[in-house]
């Protein structure tokens, strides 16, 4: 196959695949009958698969999420869609207190095979309540798997494996990545439990680590810096809870330098977890420079364009940080 | 429907978009000057929103702007009865209540343009407006977010014992959030002076209310919580004003909550400037009928028919308001953007002294 696939198309294809092959899959959430909320990621699914399996919902995040989790006990594999993580906060009770806990607190006798799809939708002067990347928050919760694809084929295959997983999975996709393209691969059903960080660019000077859109930025950065003779290794985390550090540790042992890049805030965030996991396992003398992280400023998202411009991490910022690290700054 | 459910109009009329197109009833109002003021306010709000709409269309305004064109009468009718100790909370569709309470046009324009002179200092855009001169107002776009906040503001007002009242605007979609039900129950069981104002425009973004709820009227939720409630033609500013007066006075006097369902229709899409297309849903046919229930035209025609204003006076009023709005818009465009350091300085209130 030599077709290109976009990230958005990857998500759409996964839905089509799942709804066609698995009768126990249904999708529920806000905006499913409108292209406006979820971009092209769900185009025409309601028409192709019927509105009894692709269900647009009232403005009731907590109840709708809970209802999907409830249906999952009785043999269904629902996907719940939240067009923004900010709105999904209202559903946190059912996700965090219910779905994530059952396997443990009922002695392994029941499960919540539900996939909750939360979309990061930032920029455009939307401001503080419409822009949050809260993946680190949820990755803190044992019992809740958190998946963040960075590339188109992963967007497709990780959604499929999330839905087929017997655990509750929070699958977080990012609208900024929707148009990103790559060569389409064959769909393979992969076991989510076996998934984790992947080296997506091999390099020797520094290791860049991130998830979701941040990993996607790092891949671009590696390609740009390659032309300048800087060899960057990029690790795309893919699954951030449970987090597996081994691939990261091996890479940093090799390069001696690490920069964690994350689209969330710094305090108690994913970038901190990346560095902690690496540093704990490495001898200080194996490091050629101080491990660093690049995150959002610890402030809510602004609206005014002049502030928005300095708020979000750009590829240029990653590049200059890499260069500083290489100069041991 | 429950017999306790009062109504100024026959409820079936209110929900029939083919009806109530005629000029509103004003013969029983002695102070006609007041009606002219209401008209001016509504026209001004509409012109402000149309200005923003034009600038969304050409890309000058970038922030999401949810326009309330067609819904002006609700905020304007209610604001007549507010006092300085009152507190009002709005939604993503928050321009009209802000302006009706006396929020500045220049400050709103500056806010949607992300300027330092904006009502939220350029930190909020259209969706997050702040104003605390004639009472206290803010609006946020998390659906239902301000409903418990308004209840808390009512609790504080009751503790203050100064007869302050809390007003909460929200939409028919917000009724579907659990927190709204919890808030209604809490407000009633603790007798808090809050007036819940549901602007029922039948839509939550692309979804009609009958795709989301078993009934197109939401007053039943108030009924379930034993809260006195009224359904009103939200496009009749006099009726809205009468009912608001009663609700607010009752809350002031007895600390009883009240629930108003104001039935209306928005003329623009859910967000942005287009009026024929609503986040993927064409509503052209219904929209045309609802435009016949224009809250401004119905009042204007009544004023002209009753010889309170002439057509010539109406024209000059339009020009006057139009000129003012153009002037304020140009001024806002020239305003400066926020200083870059506010991004970090404005995170904690206790840090503000650093400025
Ligand atoms: C908690 C939450 N869920 C979803 C949204 C997305 N959203 C924004 S406005 C809106 C519709 C609200 O409808 P309604 O309450 O009737 O207000 P209207 O837009 O009609 O004024 C939705 C679903 C949101 N902002 N917040
Ligand atoms: Mg509505």
Q: What are the extents of the domains in chain A?
A: 4-190, 198-326
**HSE, side-chain direction, 13 A CA sphere, residue A211:** 30
- Verify whether ligand 1 is closer than 6 Å to residue B93 (CB atom): yes
Q: Confidence class of residue B7 from pLDDT cuts 50, 70 and 90?
A: low
Cα A279 from Cα A209, distance rounded (Å): 13
Structure tokens at B224: 């379930």
Contacts of B153-160 with CB under 8 Å at 24 or more apart are B153/B87, B153/B89, B153/B194, B154/B187, B154/B192, B154/B193, B154/B194, B154/B251, B154/B257, B155/B190, B155/B192, B157/B85, B157/B87, B157/B192, B157/B193, B158/B191, B158/B192, B158/B193, B158/B255, B160/B85
Residues of B in contact with A30 (CB under 8 A): 205
> What confidence score (pLDDT) does residue B280 get?
65
Question: What percent of chain A has a predicted confidence (pLDDT) above 70?
Answer: 100
A127 closest CB neighbour out of B124, B281, B340: B124
Q: Does A93 touch chain B (CB under 8 A)?
A: no
Helix (H), strand (E) at residue B261 = strand B258-263
| C-alpha pair distances (Å), A109 with each of A24, A101, A141 | 20, 12, 20
Put simply, the answer to whether B128 touches A303 (Cβ < 8 Å) is yes
The angle subtended at Cα B332 by Cα B331 and Cα B335, nearest 5°, is 95
Residues of B in contact with A123 (CB under 8 A): none
A123-141: average pLDDT? 97
Helix (H), strand (E) at residue A4 = strand A4-6
| Distance in Å, CA B240 to ligand 2 centroid | 18
State the ligand closest to the CA atom of A130. Answer: 1
pLDDT in tens, B54-90: 999 999 999 999 999 999 999 999 999 999 999 999 9
B189-217: average pLDDT? 96
> What confidence score (pLDDT) does residue B276 get?
65
Q: Confidence class of residue B3 from pLDDT cuts 50, 70 and 90?
A: very low
Helix (H), strand (E) at residue A28 = strand A25-29
Q: Say if A4-190 and A198-326 have the same CATH topology.
A: yes
Put simply, the answer to whether A59 touches B174 (Cβ < 8 Å) is yes
pLDDT in tens, A76-86: 999 999 999 99
| Distance in Å, CA B172 to ligand 2 centroid | 5
Exposed / middle / buried, residue A295 (Cβ in 10 Å: 0-12, 13-18, 19+): buried
Strand partners, B139: B90
Task: Please give the distance of CA B353 from its chain centroid, rounded to a whole number.
Answer: 34
Put simply, the answer to whether A33 touches B176 (Cβ < 8 Å) is no
> What confidence score (pLDDT) does residue B278 get?
66
Predicted TM-score (pTM) of the model is: 0.96
Best B170, B172, B178 residue to mutate vs chain A (most A CBs within 10 Å) = B178
Cα B91 from Cα A294, distance rounded (Å): 34
Q: Confidence class of residue B259 from pLDDT cuts 50, 70 and 90?
A: very high
ipTM: 0.95
**How many other C-beta atoms are found inside a 10 Å radius of the C-beta of residue A242?**
13
Which atom of ligand 1 is found nearest the CA of B144? 1
Which atom of ligand 1 is found nearest the CA of B141? 25
A197-202: average pLDDT? 98
Which atom of ligand 1 is found nearest the CA of B201? 20
> What confidence score (pLDDT) does residue A1 get?
55
User: Is the pLDDT at B167 greater than 60, yes or no?
Assistant: yes
State the ligand closest to the CA atom of B68. Answer: 1
- The mean predicted confidence, pLDDT, of chain B is 94
Which chain A residue shows the shortest CA-CA distance from B337? A306
> What confidence score (pLDDT) does residue B25 get?
96
Q: Does A123 touch chain B (CB under 8 A)?
A: no
- SS3 category, B277: strand
User: Is the pLDDT at A38 greater than 90, yes or no?
Assistant: no
**HSE, side-chain direction, 13 A CA sphere, residue B9:** 22
Put simply, the answer to whether A129 touches B141 (Cβ < 8 Å) is yes
- The mean predicted confidence, pLDDT, of chain A is 97
CATH of domain A4-190: 3.40.50.970
| Residue, of B19 and A2, whose pLDDT is higher | B19
Which chain B residue shows the shortest CA-CA distance from A33? B206
pLDDT in tens, B170-197: 999 999 999 999 999 999 999 999 999 9
> What confidence score (pLDDT) does residue A37 get?
78
Question: What percent of chain B has a predicted confidence (pLDDT) above 70?
Answer: 95
Residues of A in contact with B204 (CB under 8 A): 58-59
Q: Confidence class of residue B279 from pLDDT cuts 50, 70 and 90?
A: low
Cα A152 from Cα A177, distance rounded (Å): 9
Structure tokens at B188: 């009633």
Q: Confidence class of residue B302 from pLDDT cuts 50, 70 and 90?
A: very high
Which chain A residue shows the shortest CA-CA distance from B114? A304
For residue B93, what is the DSSP state?
S
- Verify whether ligand 1 is closer than 6 Å to residue B172 (CB atom): yes
Q: Does A300 touch chain B (CB under 8 A)?
A: yes
State the ligand closest to the CA atom of A36. Answer: 1
Q: Confidence class of residue A318 from pLDDT cuts 50, 70 and 90?
A: very high
| Distance in Å, CA B205 to ligand 2 centroid | 7
Task: Please give the distance of CA B85 from its chain centroid, rounded to a whole number.
Answer: 19
- Verify whether ligand 1 is closer than 6 Å to residue B173 (CB atom): yes
The angle subtended at Cα B71 by Cα B14 and Cα B168, nearest 5°, is 95
Strand partners, B278: B281
Query: Best mutation site among A31, A58, A59 for ligand 1, i.e. most ligand atoms within 8 A of its Cβ?
Result: A59
Cα B355 from Cα B353, distance rounded (Å): 5
Measured over the CA atoms of residue A245, residue A247, residue A248 and residue A254, the dihedral's sign is positive
Put simply, the answer to whether B344 touches A300 (Cβ < 8 Å) is no
> What confidence score (pLDDT) does residue B2 get?
39
Please state the φ and ψ torsions of residue A43, each to the nearest 5 degrees: -55, 125
- Verify whether ligand 1 is closer than 6 Å to residue B261 (CB atom): no
**Lowest-confidence region among A147-151, A197-201, B206-210:** B206-210
pLDDT in tens, A103-123: 999 999 999 999 999 999 999
Best A46, A59, A94 residue to mutate vs chain B (most B CBs within 10 Å) = A59
> What confidence score (pLDDT) does residue B355 get?
44
Which atom of ligand 1 is found nearest the CA of B142? 26
| C-alpha pair distances (Å), A64 with each of A214, B178, B179 | 30, 11, 14
DSSP string, B188-218: HHTT--EEEEEEE-SEETTEEGGGTSSSS--
Q: How far is B345 from chain A (nearest CA, A)?
A: 9
> What confidence score (pLDDT) does residue A227 get?
97
Q: Does A36 touch chain B (CB under 8 A)?
A: yes
State the ligand closest to the CA atom of B146. Answer: 1
Q: Confidence class of residue B98 from pLDDT cuts 50, 70 and 90?
A: very high
DSSP string, A223-265: HHHHHTT--EEEEE-SEEES---HHHHHHHHHHS-EEEE-SS-
> What confidence score (pLDDT) does residue B192 get?
98
- Verify whether ligand 1 is closer than 6 Å to residue B202 (CB atom): no
Question: Measuring CA to CA, which residue among B336, B328, B331, B318 is closest to residue B104?
Answer: B328
User: Is the pLDDT at B277 greater than 80, yes or no?
Assistant: no
> What confidence score (pLDDT) does residue B55 get?
98
**How many other C-beta atoms are found inside a 10 Å radius of the C-beta of residue B228?**
19
| Distance in Å, CA B207 to ligand 2 centroid | 9
Put simply, the answer to whether B279 touches A300 (Cβ < 8 Å) is no
| C-alpha pair distances (Å), B14 with each of A304, B193, B231, B285 | 41, 27, 8, 18
Chain B residues with a Cβ under 8 Å from any Cβ in chain A: 62-64, 114-115, 122-125, 127-128, 140-145, 173-174, 176-179, 204-207, 211-213, 270, 279-281, 337-338, 340, 342-344, 346-347
CATH of domain A198-326: 3.40.50.920
| Distance in Å, CA B206 to ligand 2 centroid | 10
pLDDT in tens, A218-256: 999 999 999 999 999 999 999 999 999 999 999 999 999
Q: Find the length of chain B.
A: 355
Q: Confidence class of residue B9 from pLDDT cuts 50, 70 and 90?
A: low
Residues of B in contact with A306 (CB under 8 A): 114, 337-338, 340
**Lowest-confidence region among B100-109, B113-122, B266-275, B296-305:** B266-275
User: Is the pLDDT at B1 greater than 50, yes or no?
Assistant: no
């Amino acid at each position: 196959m030599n077709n290109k696939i976009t990230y958005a198309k990857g998500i759409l294809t996964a839905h089509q695949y799942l709804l066609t092959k698995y009768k126990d899959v249904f999708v529920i959430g806000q905006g499913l009958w409108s292209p406006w909320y979820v971009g092209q990621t769900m185009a025409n699914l309601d028409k192709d698969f019927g509105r009894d399996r692709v269900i647009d919902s009232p403005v009731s995040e907590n109840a709708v999420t809970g209802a999907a989790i409830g249906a999952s006990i009785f043999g269904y594999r629902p996907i719940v869609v939240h067009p923004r993580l900010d709105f999904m906060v209202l559903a946190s009770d059912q996700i965090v207190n219910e779905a994530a806990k059952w396997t443990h607190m009922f002695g392994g006798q029941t499960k919540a095979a539900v996939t909750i799809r939360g979309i990061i939708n930032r920029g455009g002067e939307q401001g503080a309540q419409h822009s949050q990347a809260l993946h680190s928050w949820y990755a803190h919760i044992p019992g809740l798997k958190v998946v963040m694809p960075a590339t188109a084929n992963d967007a497709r295959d990780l959604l499929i494996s999330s839905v087929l997983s017997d655990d509750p999975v929070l699958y977080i996709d990012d609208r900024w990545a929707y148009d990103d393209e790559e060569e389409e691969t064959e769909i393979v059903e992969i076991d989510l439990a076996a998934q984790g960080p992947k080296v997506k660019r091999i390099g020797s000077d520094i290791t860049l680590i991130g998830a979701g859109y941040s990993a996607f930025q790092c891949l671009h950065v590696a390609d740009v810096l390659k032309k300048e003779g800087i060899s960057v290794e990029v690790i795309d985390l893919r699954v951030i809870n449970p987090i597996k550090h081994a691939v990261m540790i091996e890479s940093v042992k090799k390069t001696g330098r690490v920069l964690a890049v994350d689209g969330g805030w710094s305090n108690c965030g994913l970038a901190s977890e990346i560095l902690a996991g690496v540093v704990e396992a490495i001898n200080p003398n194996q490091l050629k420079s101080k491990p660093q992280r690049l995150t959002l400023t610890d402030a809510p998202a602004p609206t005014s364009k002049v502030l928005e411009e300095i708020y979000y991490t750009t590829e240029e910022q990653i590049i200059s940080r890499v260069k500083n690290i290489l100069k041991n700054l | 429907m429950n017999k306790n459910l009062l109504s100024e109009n026959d409820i079936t009329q209110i929900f029939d978009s083919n009806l109530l197109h005629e000029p509103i009833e004003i013969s029983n109002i002695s102070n006609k000057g007041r009606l002219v003021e209401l008209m001016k306010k509504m026209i001004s709000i509409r012109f402000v929103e149309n200005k923003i709409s034009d600038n969304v269309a050409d890309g000058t305004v970038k922030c999401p702007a949810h326009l309330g064109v067609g819904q002006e009468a609700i905020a304007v009718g209610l604001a007549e009865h507010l006092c300085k100790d009152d507190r009002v909370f709005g939604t993503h569709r928050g321009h009209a209540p802000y302006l009706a309470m006396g929020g500045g046009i220049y400050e709103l324009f500056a806010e949607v343009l992300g300027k330092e002179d904006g009502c939220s200092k350029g930190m909020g855009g259209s969706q997050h407006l702040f104003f605390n001169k004639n009472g206290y107002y803010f609006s946020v776009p998390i659906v239902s977010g301000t409903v418990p906040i308004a209840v808390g503001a009512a609790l504080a007002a009751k503790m203050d014992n100064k007869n302050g009242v809390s007003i909460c605007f929200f939409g028919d979609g917000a009724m579907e959030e659990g927190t709204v039900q919890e808030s209604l129950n809490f407000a009633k069981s603790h007798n808090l002076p809050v007036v819940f104002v549901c602007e029922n425009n039948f839509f939550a973004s692309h979804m009609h209310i009958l795709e989301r709820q078993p009934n197109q009227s939401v007053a039943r939720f108030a009924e379930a919580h034993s809260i006195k409630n009224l359904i009103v033609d939200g496009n009749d500013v006099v009726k809205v004003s009468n009912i608001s007066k009663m609700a607010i006075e009752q809350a002031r006097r007895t600390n009883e909550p009240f629930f108003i369902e104001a039935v209306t229709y928005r003329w623009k899409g859910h967000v942005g400037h287009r009026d024929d297309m609503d986040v993927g849903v064409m509503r052209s046919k219904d929209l045309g009928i609802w435009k016949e229930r224009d809250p401004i035209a119905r009042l204007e025609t009544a004023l002209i028919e009753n010889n309170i204003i002439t057509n010539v006076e109406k024209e000059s009023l339009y020009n006057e308001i139009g000129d003012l709005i153009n002037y304020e818009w140009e001024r806002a465009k020239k305003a400066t953007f926020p200083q870059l350091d506010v991004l970090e300085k404005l995170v904690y209130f206790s840090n503000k002294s650093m400025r």
